[in-house]
């Protein structure tokens, strides 16, 4: 189900991503939740709606951030 607030995000997101990364995750997850509600719209037909939304959200975060050790930092241009 979609997330309403950053505090609702999974612990592995809240405890590791900076606030901006969390905002990206939340927006991307909620958008993917709506966009891929129908199984035929998903590239990976065996993945459920929630799994697809999490994959999309992490992909969105990785466009802007990268992991250095245990820390997520904004990518340099």
Structural domain spans, the chain: 11-33+40-74
Give tens-digit pLDDT for 27-75. 999 999 999 888 777 776 688 899 999 999 999 999 999 999 989 999 9
Q: Does domain 11-33+40-74 have CATH number 1.10.1740.70?
A: yes
What pLDDT score was predicted for residue 42? 74
Overall average pLDDT of the 5-17 stretch = 96
CB 17 within 8 A of CB 72: yes
- The bridge status of strand 65-68 relative to strand 71-74 is antiparallel
What pLDDT score was predicted for residue 44? 63
Output the pTM of the full model.
Answer: 0.90
What pLDDT score was predicted for residue 45? 63
What pLDDT score was predicted for residue 10? 96
The phi, psi pair for 70, rounded to 5°, reads -100, 5
């Amino acid at each position: 189900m979609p997330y309403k607030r950053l505090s609702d995000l999974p612990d592995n997101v809240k405890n590791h991503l900076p606030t901006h990364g969390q905002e990206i995750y939340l927006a991307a997850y909620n958008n993917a939740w709506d966009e891929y509600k129908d199984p035929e719209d998903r590239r990976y037909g065996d993945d459920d709606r929630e799994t697809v939304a999490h994959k999309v959200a992490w992909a969105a975060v990785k466009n802007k951030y990268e992991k250095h050790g245990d820390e997520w930092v904004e990518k340099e241009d």
